Amino acid sequence: MRDNVKGGALTEVTFYILLSLFTPKHGYAIMQFIEEKTGGRLSLGAGTLYGALNTLEDKGWIARYGKSEGRKKEYIITALGKEIAEIELARLQELTQTAAKIIGGVL
C-alpha cells in the first residue's frame, strides 16, 4: 500500500475504504460501497481488498468490529483512521480549490 501520510496523500482506494467504514461493514459490503460511490469506476478484487484491510488494521486505522468470527469479519474505522480521513479530505479540498483558481472553475 503506497499511502504516504507524512506527505499527506492516500491512495484513492484507501480513502474509500476508510470512508466506507464510518459504519461497520464486512469485505463484500466494502467492495459494494466503493463500486457504488464511484459509479463502477473503482472495483476491487477480494485479494486487493483483504490485503488493504490487513494493512489498515496493522496501522491502527481500522479495527475488527463485534465478534468477527468465521468468514464474515466486520471492520470499523478507528479514531486514528477518522483523523487520517479528515486530513485527506482537507488535502483534497485544498487541491481542488487551487485547481479551480488556476483553471477558472467555480467551487
> DSSP assignment of 91-102, as one string?
HHHHHHHHHHHH
CATH 1.20.120.530 fits 12-103, yes or no: no
Give the start-to-end residue ranges of the domains of the chain. 12-103
Alpha carbons 82 and 44: distance in angstroms, whole number? 22
Tell me the per-residue pLDDT of 23-47, one tens digit each, with 9 for 90 and over.
999 999 999 999 999 999 999 998 9
Tell me the per-residue pLDDT of 65-105, one tens digit each, with 9 for 90 and over.
987 666 788 999 999 999 999 999 999 999 999 999 999 86
pLDDT band at 2 (very low <50, low <70, confident <90, very high): low
